[in-house]
Amino acid sequence: MPDLLEKIRAREAKVGVVGLGYVGLPLSLSFVRAGFEVIGFDIDPRKVEGIRKGESYIHHIPSAEIQAGVASGKLRATTDFSLARDADCLIICVPTPLTAAREPDLSYITGTAHSLQPHLRQGQLVVLESTTYPGTTDECLLPILEEGGLKAGVDFHLAFSPEREDPGNARFKTSTIPKVVGGYTGRCLEVAAALYGAAIERVVPVSSTRTAEMTKLLENIYRSVNIAMVNELKMLCHRMGIDVFEAIDAAATKPFGFQAFYPGPGLGGHCIPIDPFYLTWKAREYGLTTRFIELAGEINTGMPLYVVQRTMDAMNEQGKALKGSRILVMGVAYKRDIDDMRESPSVHVIELLLQRGALVDYHDPFVPALPHMRDHKLAMSSVPFPPATGAYDAAIVVTDHTAIDYQALVDSVPLVVDSRRATAKVSRHRERIHTA
């Protein structure tokens, strides 16, 4: 009987992907395109049923690709975790949120591990992709998987490979983004690298699972810190009467030593607002305080309040109070041209406006209704656009979707607070625009 490495090279290994969200679904399709049979596992029966019907529930993934995978027999989905025994390789792509105390919540990882463990067999490969602190794979995942008597690195292979998805990115997709892989042993690394190398253009092997875990945190903390810097500069530039975007664009003409980051209403997505806190929590175990990272988190977390305060100031200049005013929030996805609501700053902006007595609507062509969110309860649906003239006292641009006619927005609303520079090309009624 061929070993796992031979089966991978022959495209005969079955791949199981646990978690069919923004990471797991595109990863599953990448393996299908590479010729592998894929079993998708999820606890949400709606996602499983959507795949069975060939219907995409993620905007940037076309239904036709799912339909093709299902029709070929290469893609199937299930809520039955006992089928994990049929998979040769199991890749875990589940959420890793923060608790209310802003500490790591590994319940999805541990829950998945307990669901898989009874069905684990000799020779399988298990890879964790969920973003987490260094040590999670060997300290948290490994002991659960070994409860049945099988030993990692001896009876089954274990690895960590951080997801690097960027929803809506037209330049890169799963198969073209280099894949960092760290193994529990050298043989684990060899097998995991072979699996990803069969579906992804470039694999970047590192010496351990902990190095791979740290790599992902480093990438996202780098962005978090630099975004915090320009967010802080945005507030200073406003006081000084300087256009921070103009200054950044000018600095970006330097051909070396500078990379442009742009300010906004706060951070969104599953990674950048959360990952730094995973490392700050873990650092305390080693007696260190990551003050630089924590300060960046404080600045970025405070940006929604800054946007609301700028809106209140701009309305005061027009002799209006926020309380009782009708406010239109433009865009609720965490970034432009996607339907991903995870950690979106728009939710915080809406809640802050409601707390201050405003009457709030939103428009987002990608989010027809606000989904159920773990920490927020907002039953709202997108309103038509453009709004009737006089329907709103102010609008706040939180997400700069490219399909929006911002000239029509400015024409329809007496005050537009723009946190994304979306109205830069508007020609009429420039006096109605306030930046935030």
Q: In the structure encoding, which two tokens stand for residue 394, read together?
A: 């102010």
Tell me, yes or no, if 188 is annotated catalytic: no
d(CA 223, CA 213): 16
Q: Residues 93, 188, 237, 271: which is the catalytic one?
A: 271
The letter for the amino acid at 344 is S
d(CA 106, CA 101): 14
d(CA 303, CA 307): 6
Q: Which residues are catalytic?
A: 271
